[in-house]
Amino acid sequence: MTVTIHELIERKKPADLEKIERTLAAQPARSPEAEAALSALIWRRRTDGRSGLLGAFMHKDCAERIAMLGDHLEEIGAHDAAAALRELRAEIPLSDDLIGRGLIDWVDSRPDIVREARELDSRLEDVAPLIWDYLRDCGDAVPDLPLHQPRRGLLARWLS
C-alpha cells in the first residue's frame, strides 16, 4: 500500500518530515506553498545538528536557497528563524551566488561569525511544529503525492 504526503501530515510523526522533504524535493514542479514547505524542511534538517544556524550556509542544498529562505520561513510562521537568518546573512559579506556553493572554508576562518551564529541559534525554537501546521493548513496546495521511493537496482530487487 502506498502512503501519501497527506497521510503523513495527519500522523504527525517527526521521522515523517524527512520523507515529506524527499518526496517534495523529487518533484520537478512545485507550488509556491510546497516550495516554502520544502525550504523550511531543508532548513530544519540542516540547522538541527551541531552546526546550528551556520548549517544553513554550510550545506549546499540549503545555501543555494539562501536568497528566498527568509521569505519561506516567514511564510510558514517561523518569524524568529527568518530574523536570525537575515541577521546572520547581513554579517556575511558575500553574494548569494557564492553562498549557494556552501561556506565551510570561509566560516572556518571567521570566528566572529561563528560566535554570532551560536548566539542567534541559542534563541531559536524548533520549526517542526510550525511546518506541521503549515502543511496541514495548506491543504491541496501541497499535492497529495505518494512517497518518493528510491529506485532499487536489479540485483537488490532480485535478492530481496
DSSP SS3 for 4: strand
pTM (2 decimals)? 0.85
Candidate ranges 20-24, 148-152, 156-160; pick with highest mean pLDDT: 20-24
- The grid cell for 65 is 536557497
**82: pLDDT strictly greater than 70:** yes
Residue 51's CB: how many other CB atoms inside 10 A?
Answer: 19
93 versus 155: the higher-pLDDT residue is 93
In this prediction, residue 58 carries a pLDDT of 86
Each residue's pLDDT tens digit, 3-52: 888 998 898 888 899 999 999 998 888 999 999 999 999 999 999 888 89
Alpha-carbon distance 82 to 122, whole Å? Answer: 14
Mean pLDDT of 41-64: 90
How far, in whole angstroms, is CA 106 from its chain's centroid? Answer: 22
In this prediction, residue 151 carries a pLDDT of 65
Each residue's pLDDT tens digit, 31-41: 999 999 999 99
Please identify which residue in the block is written with the cell numbers 501519501.
4
Nearest residue to 6 (alpha-carbon basis) of 114, 125, 137: 137
Each residue's pLDDT tens digit, 116-147: 999 999 999 999 999 999 999 988 888 888 88
